Amino acid sequence: MAWRSGSVPADVLWLAAACPPELDAARSILARDGLRLELCADLAALRAAARKGGAPELILADLDDWPGDPRRLVRLIRADARLRRSALMFLAGRSGDGVAQALRDGADDFLIKPVPAELLCARIEAAVQTARRLATPEPWSRRVLRARDGRVILELRERRCQVQRGVDYEEVVLTRRQFEVLAALLKRPNRTVGWRELYARGWRPSRLRRRSRTLVQHVMSLRRKLGALAERLEVVPGLGYRWRE
């Protein structure tokens, strides 16, 4: 069946000012696995496509067509309610410090052009499969708590924590108290969780005063384990902590 722009919702949106030479080859390869690809000339077109067809599973952004810091592009996409859950992959003619920081800030992958079509599509398909796995938890894990962008996953029954590092997920070993604190924050993103509630998850009320510094130490250790995502765990002076989405 011939592909027509906008005829069906796209699984992959390619953000580029002009039609890239790899587009047709990538579209044909992805079509074999049932993935639809659509070209968007700018952010306005990207948002319009998401409004029309729903959030894409992957956004592929050509940084050579983006006149600015790639970290700003990450922030703009992650701030959009329709796009924030989509995987984000960068293409560029060369690497740079901005790309490395963008990966830390929420981008999922980066490739240097030119990229063979087969390799490009393999990376796209891997990112899409990861997104689908996050959307549908494994059968053995029926109780799952996630950050809104999927970069932190807590399996509540098994007390397992997975943190996204680039395109892959790494299991992070948390103590029971660290796990409970992180779960409390993820359940109420962007809202302050008070000290007393967090204390109660780790210690009996009679020990709150004596153990108060221990909670701070556990949170400091938790931030170290979260790595680049530690900046989302914010201290609210005099009140408690907040997980920023």
Both 18 and 93 in a single domain? yes
- Return the CATH number at 177: 1.10.10.10
DSSP conformation class of 36? -
Whether 89 maps to a domain, the answer reads yes
For residue 208, give both structure tokens. Answer: 């709150």
pTM (two decimals):
0.55
Q: State the pairing for strand pair 192-194/240-243.
A: antiparallel
Question: What is the span of the domain harbouring residue 27?
Answer: 12-134
Whether 7 maps to a domain, the answer reads no
Both 97 and 192 in a single domain? no
Among candidate residues 134, 168, 195, the one where a domain is terminated: 134
Whether 1 maps to a domain, the answer reads no
Among candidate residues 70, 103, 134, the one where a domain is terminated: 134
Residues 203-243 have pLDDT tens digits of 444 444 444 567 788 888 999 999 889 999 998 888 889 99
105 vs 15, more confident: 15
Q: What confidence score (pLDDT) does residue 204 get? A: 47
User: Radius of gyration of the chain from Cα atoms?
Assistant: 20
* Residue 150 buriedness (CB in 10 A; 0-12 / 13-18 / 19+): buried
Residues 119-163 have pLDDT tens digits of 888 888 888 877 776 655 444 445 788 887 788 988 888 888 989
Whether 148 maps to a domain, the answer reads yes
Residue 22: which residues within 8 A CB-CB, separation 6 or more?
114, 115, 117, 120
What's the domain count of the chain?
2
Q: What confidence score (pLDDT) does residue 140 get? A: 40
Residues 57-100 have pLDDT tens digits of 889 888 888 777 788 888 888 888 788 778 888 888 776 666 77
Q: What confidence score (pLDDT) does residue 206 get? A: 43
Q: What confidence score (pLDDT) does residue 109 get? A: 83
Whether 4 maps to a domain, the answer reads no
